[in-house]
Amino acid sequence: MLKRFFRGVLTLMGTGLGIGLGFLVNWFLESFELELIPNVQEAALLVAFALIFGIIFFLMANRIMKVVSACLKWVERKLSDVPAHDIFFGSLGLVIGLFIAFLISSPIRDMRIKLVSIILTLAIYMLFAYLGINIAVKRREELASLFLFRRQPQEKADKKAGNRMAKILDTSVIIDGRIFDICRTGFIEGPIIIPSFVLEELRHIADSSDSLKRNRGRRGLDVLNRIQKELDIEVGIYEDTSDDNTEVDVKLLKLGQKLGAKVVTNDYNLNKVAEFQGVAVLNINDLANAVKPVVLPGEEMLVQVIKDGKETGQGVAYLDDGTMIVIDGGKKHVGQSIDVLVTSVLQTSAGRMIFAKPKDADKIVS
């Protein structure tokens, strides 16, 4: 029913367009004193053009509706990325520009040569519409200070903007769970942004048939609920309207670039790609490593050897914070607590690893 209605509307539009073109062609012929069909030339041209364009629009109605629908969706996607104040001031500038164009084009519309009059009038309207939108958007801060808002001092505004840079959470950092404690301590301030595609990925993980993945996904959703309900921090959902099947990490980085926000993650690979693309990243593993006690080569410590290492003769121990200690020659001390001497420390975004050797094989605390 709706398609029939639009088909009828398009047919009427085509008929109206044909009548307008018929008048234009008839005026053009009369300008050169040409009369192809005596006495009934105007009526014949109007009927012919009305029928031709009415039939064309009727036959092409479906294609026209598809093109119009695609254009409307494209405009909607573009407008969804534009801040509300830009839309407001752009609309205001458009209205002012069209009003000025109306005043300027008034004498031009009275020209005898109608074709030139129409072309000049359209050109003036398009020019002032563009200038009105462009100037209003570029001068929105000055317009806001004049009509709507009190302008803050620039230094204060810059400071406030810097302190409230948005943070985008990725899936891995939500599932990790430590982000809740970090936000609670105040090391990360809002606003916090959760993209809709991250929520969708969490939902898929929580609905997984694998019990481990399912538990991880549900823990991530619980962490988000706790952040939103228990913490005094601004949390917003970014609705992604794109229909592409781009990977979540790629969408995160594009969103960070578009919003000028920082991506919070503990994914080592995402961290490296973000550095390459110039996107600011807060890696919570870097934060965890930064607050770990400093261990220097030559220090002594008492550790318990837990298991064999990958290389021959190596043993592995762990500090209380989970830092791995690889002990050269520690395999024979598995299950024992021994004094070791730190030989080197390897620090990366993926974590920290300590290499050591037994200080004295005779000093074993069983």
HEC secondary structure over 51-73: HHHHHHHHHCHHHHHHHHHHHHH
pLDDT in tens, 29-49: 777 777 777 777 788 888 888
pLDDT in tens, 285-310: 888 777 777 778 888 888 888 888 88
**Residue 34 exposure: Cα atoms within 13 Å on the Cβ side:** 8
Q: Which fold has domain 161-289?
A: Rossmann fold (3.40.50)
Kindly report the average pLDDT of the chain as a whole number.
80
pTM of whole model > 0.85? no
Q: Is 157 left (phi over 0), alpha (psi -120 to 50) or beta?
A: alpha
Domain with CATH 3.40.50.1010 in the chain: 161-289
Q: Could you tell me the pLDDT band of residue 81, with boundaries at 50, 70 and 90? A: low
pLDDT in tens, 173-224: 888 888 888 888 888 877 888 888 888 888 888 888 888 888 888 988 898 8
Task: Please check whether residue 89 is in contact with residue 137, taking contact to mean a CB–CB distance below 8 angstroms.
Answer: yes
Long-range contacts made by residues 183-188, C-beta under 8 angstroms, separation at least 24?
183/227, 183/231, 183/233, 184/230, 184/231, 187/287, 188/264, 188/282
Domain with CATH 2.40.50.140 in the chain: 300-365
**Over pLDDT 70: what percentage of the chain?**
87
Identify the CATH homologous superfamily for domain 300-365. Answer: Nucleic acid-binding proteins (2.40.50.140)
- pLDDT at 54 exceeding the cut of 70: yes
